[in-house]
Amino acid sequence: MQIGILGLGTVGTGVVELIEKNKNIIAKRLREEVHVKKVLVRDLNKQRTPLVEGKITDKFEDIIEDEEISVIVEVMGGEEPALTYIREALNRGKHVVTANKEVVAKHGKELFEISAKKDVNLLFEASVGGGIPIIRPMKQCLSANEITKIMGILNGTTNYILSQMTEKGKGFDEALKEAQMEGYAESDPTDDIKGFDAARKLAILSSIAFNTRITPDQVYTEGIDSISQSDIQYAKEMGHVIKLIAMGKKHENSVEVSVTPALLPKDHPLASVGDTFNALMAEGNAVGPVMFYGLGAGKMPTASAVVADIMETKRSNNGSKLYCTCFNHFDVMDPGQSHASFYIRLRAFDKPGVFAKIAGAFGKNQISLAQVIQKNIINGTAEIVIVTYDVPFKNLQEALCEIKTYKEQVVEVSTVIRVEGEHK
């Protein structure tokens, strides 16, 4: 099997190294050897692994026009030119293996249509959860189930930051800086900390789980940059941890998709997923809850998924492909309609009648309070933490809008976080 690789960054180098490192076991399992024939790079003069000597090119044509290359591996990342290259490769009847969540999440429909027409594979296990088997197990092993819910930690950078804040008591900025020093966060960390990366992965997984096309712009997305050490501490007091949770839920005729920080009870299976680890829980109407756990990013874990997909292009060569399965057309639920229990931290003036005023705004919007903590009086203001029962998000938003107008009573609404698995 001759393959062409587009991109020789961290993941591309990992793919080349893994194919060399495990070549014997790969050849035995596949009953065929895998050879890297050509690699597309931007800069021909940069120092590269000796494994690609004589194989690099800066012209896409050199690869796409090579008749011996049957599999194109796209590991450049970013929307363009990756999308153009993948489209062209499929149109030329070559199998495509990609780790590109952005392209798959945004352009999956178009690309799957081409791959079906040309009867070639479009495989993307590495686009979600790094090396953790998730997409194939969902598509194949759980195929007899109606999936009712998926819920996971899909971004290692934010999980590292939140773990550092929880375990080491660090502030958000300090934890982010450390993540950047450790190489877990980019110099521009926006995609991670704002939840955009997790939203792309959730779009891919929800499309598979609920058999309906979901794109990243349909995912209600909040980041973790508003979470402070105070929130971590309050959560701890209440027996919870804060995680960035990607969630998809099937309702009767709609699908709810969100990426938001959430308080999880300490004994929730996702609560103990630390550091840069990822995990996905899926609930099927036959299998019940299942969880997949492992390293969600990194050179060799991601290469593990890419190379397995390369090997699968051989097995799936005879009409036995993983088709696009988005045969449903469910609406995406308006985030205001979604129900949850919420944690709200706010600062108010420490004087009589203030709490009554705030409580009144919740009451008017049919919001019952499950828990109230008031402390940390500083300069005449008090910190108030409120946990609501399960309420429509819209009602909460209206109550908070109103509370923010109480300039005589309320200094600021500091944080609003969903609470999972309680107060129903």
Catalytic residues: 201
For the CB of residue 234, give the shortest distance to its own copies in the complex, in Å: 23
Query: Closest CB to its own copies among 260 and 302?
Result: 302
Which residue from 95, 140, 87, 131 is spatially nearest to 111, judged by alpha carbons? 87
Other C-beta atoms within 10 Å of 84: how many? 12
| Residue 65: exposure state from Cβ atoms within 10 A (0-12, 13-18, ≥19) | exposed
- Under rule CB under 8 A, residue 295 binds its own copies: yes
Residue in 57, 316, 397, 414 binding its own copies, rule: CB under 8 A = 316
| Residue 251: exposure state from Cβ atoms within 10 A (0-12, 13-18, ≥19) | middle
Query: Closest CB to its own copies among 156 and 189?
Result: 156
Pairing state of beta strands 339-349 and 381-388? antiparallel
Helix (H), strand (E) at residue 164: helix 156-168
Query: Closest CB to its own copies among 316 and 397?
Result: 316
CA distance 193 to 343: 20
For the CB of residue 305, give the shortest distance to its own copies in the complex, in Å: 7
Amino acid at 348: A
Residue in 50, 54, 183, 319 binding its own copies, rule: CB under 8 A = 319
CA distance 348 to 109: 49
DSSP state of 126: G
For the CB of residue 387, give the shortest distance to its own copies in the complex, in Å: 25
Binders of its own copies among residues 112 to 151 (CB under 8 A) are: 125, 130-133, 136-137, 140-146
For the CB of residue 19, give the shortest distance to its own copies in the complex, in Å: 8
- Under rule CB under 8 A, residue 18 binds its own copies: yes
- Under rule CB under 8 A, residue 292 binds its own copies: yes
- Under rule CB under 8 A, residue 26 binds its own copies: yes
Query: Closest CB to its own copies among 25 and 378?
Result: 25
DSSP H helical segments within 218-260, as ranges?
Answer: 229-237
Residue in 2, 10, 21, 360 binding its own copies, rule: CB under 8 A = 21
Where do the DSSP E strands lie in 210-338? 220-221, 240-250, 254-265, 277-284, 288-295, 331-332
- Under rule CB under 8 A, residue 188 binds its own copies: no
- Under rule CB under 8 A, residue 421 binds its own copies: no
- Under rule CB under 8 A, residue 22 binds its own copies: yes
Amino acid at 337: Q
- Under rule CB under 8 A, residue 290 binds its own copies: yes
Tell me if 81 sits within 8 A of 88, measured CB to CB: no
For the CB of residue 136, give the shortest distance to its own copies in the complex, in Å: 5
Q: 406 pairs with which residues across the strands?
A: none
The pairs formed by 88-92 with CB atoms below 8 angstroms and a separation of 24 or more are 88/60, 88/64, 89/64, 90/114, 90/115, 90/118, 90/120, 90/122, 91/118, 92/64
- Under rule CB under 8 A, residue 307 binds its own copies: yes
Residue in 188, 318, 375, 407 binding its own copies, rule: CB under 8 A = 318
For the CB of residue 274, give the shortest distance to its own copies in the complex, in Å: 9
Give 417's Cβ-side CA count (13 Å radius).
29
The site string for its own copies over 257-286 (x = CB under 8 A, - otherwise) reads ----------x-x--x-----------xxx
Size of the site for its own copies (CB under 8 A): 60
For the CB of residue 62, give the shortest distance to its own copies in the complex, in Å: 26
Binders of its own copies among residues 29 to 48 (CB under 8 A) are: 29-31
Q: Quickly tell me which residue has 């946990």 as its tokens.
A: 387
Query: Closest CB to its own copies among 143 and 233?
Result: 143
Chain residues in the site for its own copies (CB under 8 A): 14, 18, 21-22, 25-26, 28-31, 125, 130-133, 136-137, 140-146, 211, 267, 269, 272, 284-295, 298, 300-301, 303-305, 307-308, 310-312, 315-320, 323, 325, 327
